[in-house]
Structure 1
Amino acid sequence: WQAIIPVQPREGEGRFYDVVGPICETGDFLGKERTLNIVAGDLLAVRSSGAYGFTMSSNYNSRPRVAEIMVDGEQTHVVRARETIADLMRGEQLLPE
């Protein structure tokens, strides 16, 4: 179980949500039946991201790694920049014709 909370909390009652990851796997759930008061576009903080953190991440399905952000009170700091598709392709070469 990992804590999943809205970055900007909203007043009022929440609804039940399943929070899933970005890959096409049936077991890619970050949380099931979580009560959250959110709307489309809200950011969620996953307090212990496991395989989605850099140390356990991979580029499975050609997915770039996400940015890592440190939150220090009211301040945020980019610790590691988000990877791009160009980052994934760097070092690859086409076969000669």
Structure 2
Amino acid sequence: MNIKPLLLSAAFAFSAQMIPMSASAEILAIGPHAKVLKKANLPTHGQSMKQVQKRFGPAQRIKVSKGKVTKRNPKITRWDYSGFSVYFENSHVIHSVVKR
């Protein structure tokens, strides 16, 4: 019996338990004095386009990625609002970015 694969899998299982599974994000404002801002009232990861439009209204400007849409190259859409932009992959939020 080869013990190396067993040791490797045991080490991986132990290290996976040591990594916290929850994630959080804050907004970092960079300028003359860098500061961390509290979470803003922004769309969150996974929300649909309908949910964002219902909550924040129609976007001021919409930009859609160009090129052929494939599984590896999904459609990316950016909705610009006055204080932030929202990036969608297909029809769900992937990022919200605060503007200066």
Query: Normalised by the size of structure 1, how large is the TM-score?
Result: 0.24
Query: Normalised by the size of structure 2, how large is the TM-score?
Result: 0.23
| Higher Rg of the two aligned structures | 2
